[in-house]
Chain A
Amino acid sequence: MRPVLLPASLEELWPLMRDHPGAAFMAGGSDLLVRLRQGLVDPPAIIGLEGIAELGLVHDEAPGWLFLGAGASHTALLEHSLVQRRLPLLAQALAVLGSPLVRNQGTLGGNLGTASPAGDTLSPLYALEAQVELRSATGSRRLAIADFILGPGRTALQAGEIIYGAWVPLAQDWSLAHFEKVGLRQALAIAVVSLAALISLDDGGVVREARLALGSVGPTVVRPRQAEQALLGRPLDAASLKAAARLVRQEVSPIDDPRASAHYRRQVAGNLLLRLARPAD
Chain B
Amino acid sequence: MILHFTLNGQATRVECDPDRRVVDLLRQDLGLTGVKEACGAGECGACAILLDGVPRLSCLLLAAQLAGHEVLTIEGLAGGEAPHPLQEAFARAGAVQCGFCTPGMVLASHALLARQPRPSRQEIAQAIAGNLCRCTGYHKIIDAVRLAAGLSEDDS
Q: Give the CA-CA distance A46 to B45 in the complex, in Å.
A: 24
Does A229 lie at the interface of the complex (its beta carbon under 8 Å from any beta carbon of B)? no
Known contacts A1-B17, A1-B18, A101 near B62 by CB under 8 Å = no
Known contacts A101-B57, A187-B129, A48 near B108 by CB under 8 Å = no
Does A151 lie at the interface of the complex (its beta carbon under 8 Å from any beta carbon of B)? no
Collect the chain B residues with CB atoms within 8 Å of residue A260's CB: none
Q: Give the CA-CA distance A28 to B57 in the complex, in Å.
A: 10
Interchain CB contact under 8 A, A101 and B55 = yes
Does A34 lie at the interface of the complex (its beta carbon under 8 Å from any beta carbon of B)? yes
Interchain CB contact under 8 A, B60 and A34 = yes
A27 to chain B, nearest CB (A): 11
Collect the chain B residues with CB atoms within 8 Å of residue A26's CB: 62
Collect the chain A residues with CB atoms within 8 Å of residue B102's CB: none
Contact of B42 among A3, A48, A102 (CB under 8 A): A102
Does A85 lie at the interface of the complex (its beta carbon under 8 Å from any beta carbon of B)? no
Interchain CB contact under 8 A, B65 and A50 = yes
Does A6 lie at the interface of the complex (its beta carbon under 8 Å from any beta carbon of B)? yes
Contact of A33 among B62, B67, B127 (CB under 8 A): B62
Interchain CB contact under 8 A, B60 and A28 = yes
Q: Give the CA-CA distance A30 to B17 in the complex, in Å.
A: 20
Interchain CB contact under 8 A, B21 and A3 = no
Q: Give the CA-CA distance A99 to B151 in the complex, in Å.
A: 25
Interface size on B, residues (CB 8 A): 29
Kindly state the interface size class of chain A when it binds its partner: 20 to 34
Q: Which B residues between 19 and 67 are near A, CB-CB below 8 angstroms?
A: 19, 21, 40-43, 45, 48, 54-57, 59-65, 67
A50 to chain B, nearest CB (A): 7
Collect the chain A residues with CB atoms within 8 Å of residue B99's CB: none
Contact with B along A56-74 (1 / 0, CB 8 A): 0000000000000000000
Does B130 lie at the interface of the complex (its beta carbon under 8 Å from any beta carbon of A)? yes
Q: Which of A26, A33, A34, A99 has the most CB of B within 10 A?
A: A99
What are some 26 contacts across the A-B interface (CB < 8 A)? A1-B17, A1-B18, A2-B18, A4-B18, A4-B19, A4-B62, A6-B67, A26-B62, A28-B60, A29-B60, A29-B61, A29-B62, A33-B59, A33-B61, A46-B62, A99-B130, A99-B131, A100-B129, A101-B55, A101-B130, A102-B42, A102-B57, A105-B57, A188-B129, A188-B130, A188-B132
Query: Beyond A4-B19, A4-B62, A29-B60: 9 further Cβ-contacts under 8 Å?
Result: A28-B60, A29-B61, A33-B62, A34-B40, A48-B62, A99-B129, A101-B131, A105-B42, A187-B130
Chain A interface (Cβ < 8 Å from any Cβ of B): 1-4, 6, 26, 28-30, 33-34, 37, 46, 48, 50, 98-102, 104-105, 187-188
Chain B interface (Cβ < 8 Å from any Cβ of A): 17-19, 21, 40-43, 45, 48, 54-57, 59-65, 67, 108, 126-127, 129-132
